[in-house]
Amino acid sequence: MIYTFTNLEESIKSLYLSLNITKPYEIDMWQFANKFDIWIEFEEGKSELVEPQKDMFTICLDSRISPKKQWQDYAHEFGHVIRHVGKQHELREYFRDLQEFQANNFMYHFCVPTFMLIEYNVSNCLDIENGAKFVADTFNVTEEFAKKRLVLFRDKILQAKADEEHRRYMEARYPKLVYSNETNDVLKELDLLIKKRKGVTI
């Protein structure tokens, strides 16, 4: 099976590799905070992102929740820093909802990066109930979080398998076409015309 990384998965992988983080036990929110000049504070209250001055961010984490939930909240708020610009409270409701959806999606992929998850036995990861405890322990997230992340991963794996089966079916049903000499001549002329328009020397 060919697993194609999404743009989000690729960008998260690049982010981790920029800090030489390749294993789950190396993940540390303080490293990302240092890299992006983000302050982290712990207060009794809902976790939130604060921008006291332009391009200066503070992630306030709820001091009453577990370290695992704090990490998950951090990832959500960090997603806003990475992906969104401007004051969210000034946005229309539907656009705020979109940004919250994007931050949640970022959170699941950031806390459990695909490039690390895929290193483990994929068939075990597809068993949501049994795989959740392993993922929760390995990536320092809650089991509820791990289940949701594994559902996303399973759906992507199943889609990749379905795409591959469909590709094989289409290739078997419609083998590569052999064009006539006339069609090949037309294709050559089109190619020359495109190169001329792009200013390519022929």
Condensed to tens digits (0 to 9), the pLDDT of residues 74-132 reads 999 999 888 755 455 455 566 667 778 889 999 999 999 999 998 887 666 678 888 89
> To the nearest whole percent, how much of the chain has pLDDT over 70?
86
Is the pLDDT score of 200 beyond 60? no
As a whole-number percent, the residues of the chain with pLDDT over 90 amount to 50
Q: Which residue has the higher pLDDT, 202 or 25?
A: 25
CA distances (Å), origin 5, targets 11, 18, 68, 156, 184? 10, 18, 26, 9, 35
Question: 68-83: b or e for each residue (b if 16 or more CB lie within 10 Å)?
Answer: bbbbbbbbbbbbbbbe
pLDDT for residue 182? 85
Phi and psi torsions of 57, nearest 5°: -115, 145
Give the global pTM. 0.76
At 55 the pLDDT is 73
Q: What string of DSSP letters covers 19-87?
A: TT--SGGG--HHHHHHHTTEEEEEESS--EEEEEETTEEEEEEETTS-HHHHHHHHHHHHHHHHH--S-
Question: Given this model, what pLDDT does residue 50 score?
Answer: 86
What does the mean pLDDT of the chain come to? 85
Q: Provide the pLDDT for residue 202.
A: 47
Q: What is the pLDDT of residue 126?
A: 72
